[in-house]
Amino acid sequence: MAKKVLVLGELREGSLRNVSFEAIAAGKQIANGGEVIGVLVGDKINDQAKEMLQYGADRVLTVEDEKLKHYTSDGYSQALLKVIEQENPEGIVFGHTALGKDLSPKIAGKLNIGLISDVTGIEENEGESIFTRPIFSGKAFEKKKMIEGIEFITIRPNNIEPLNKDENKTGEIQSVSVEIKDLRTIIKEVVKKASDGVDLSEAKVIVAGGRGVKSAEGFEPLQELADVLGGAVGASRGACDADYCDYSLQIGQTGKVVTPDLYIACGISGAIQHLAGMSNSKVIVAINKDPEANIFNVADYGIVGDLFEVVPLLTEEFHKLKEGAQS
């Protein structure tokens, strides 16, 4: 059965996050030949609406207001509830990001509908959508479906392949007028502590350090390797607790959950809390002096050695490969 599906486009510093395009692809699967409608909330977002069309949305609805320049759950929920009321969709897709995790339960509660969060796979069975999601910190997976009402899901970044971008694709972009009022929170300024670079939650390559890096300076060779690979640097909670790096880099059960194509763990023992945040990475490489370290149990490739010797060698070799490919 063809369905109408709303997909929330998520902005970061004026640009669409990659999870927005993955959400469109997920929406296409749920729609089963029906209509996928992109939704953008913010201020001056027409160019981003065009990009959602190029990645597969059939049309895009925008809610623009100066009060929506920065995310607040009050402002965004007012905008989205109006759009949902207007369109009456059979499905809704958000990214399982900090924004999506905050906003989706509020929307589901207001609509009195169910929510399937952290979806990593979608399959069709006799016209029904079956959603796969990890449980028990990624040690098992469950399959769920909605037996009634709107199919409302959030998808984990880097798990659903986005559709190919079509620069020539166009479609209708419609502005929806919503009165944003009675905001309990107004954000006047955003001060960022995290460094610029690849978004950790969406990075295809992550080089992560643990207590084995020994100091803040110990992260420098990891950053060099990440730069060569076009990736991001992450950390275990142990490294963050030791004040080697900021908690914004933490990966694990109480940090970010990541699923990159390549995860290089340097000086990380492999505590279960850390594994919960990265064990679903497509390829895991572990570098550790201790051959008995638990991280080797989940690694696809293991290197027993001093990370301060191994990482610079890897960086040098990748530099050579990169230069050879460019010549």
268 assigned ligand-binding residue: yes
DSSP letter for each residue of 222-268: HHHHHHHHT-EEEE-HHHHHTTSS-GGGBBSTTSB----SEEEEES-
135 assigned ligand-binding residue: no
Identify which of 108, 111, 121, 117 has the alpha carbon closest to the alpha carbon of residue 158. Answer: 121
Q: Which residues face 266 on adjacent strands?
A: 209, 287
303 assigned ligand-binding residue: no
- Are residues 11 and 40 in contact, defined by beta-carbon separation less than 8 angstroms? yes
Residue written as tokens 């970010």?
Answer: 256
- Are residues 44 and 72 in contact, defined by beta-carbon separation less than 8 angstroms? no
SS (H, E, C) 290-327: CCCCHHHHCCCEEEECCHHHHHHHHHHHHHHHHHHHHC
117 assigned ligand-binding residue: no
218 assigned ligand-binding residue: no
250 assigned ligand-binding residue: yes
Distance CA 290, CA 302 (A): 11
Phi, psi of 30 (to 5 degrees): -70, -40
Q: Which residues face 11 on adjacent strands?
A: 16
267 assigned ligand-binding residue: yes
288 assigned ligand-binding residue: yes
Distance CA 292, CA 42 (A): 50
187 assigned ligand-binding residue: no
252 assigned ligand-binding residue: yes
269 assigned ligand-binding residue: yes
Identify which of 88, 95, 149 has the alpha carbon closest to the alpha carbon of residue 119. Answer: 95
236 assigned ligand-binding residue: yes
Identify which of 227, 257, 249, 187 has the alpha carbon closest to the alpha carbon of residue 19. Answer: 257
23 assigned ligand-binding residue: no
The residues near 94 (Cβ < 8 Å, ≥ 6 apart) are 8, 10, 23, 100, 103, 104, 153, 154, 155
272 assigned ligand-binding residue: yes
17 assigned ligand-binding residue: no
List the binding residues for FAD: 211, 236-237, 250-254, 267-274, 288
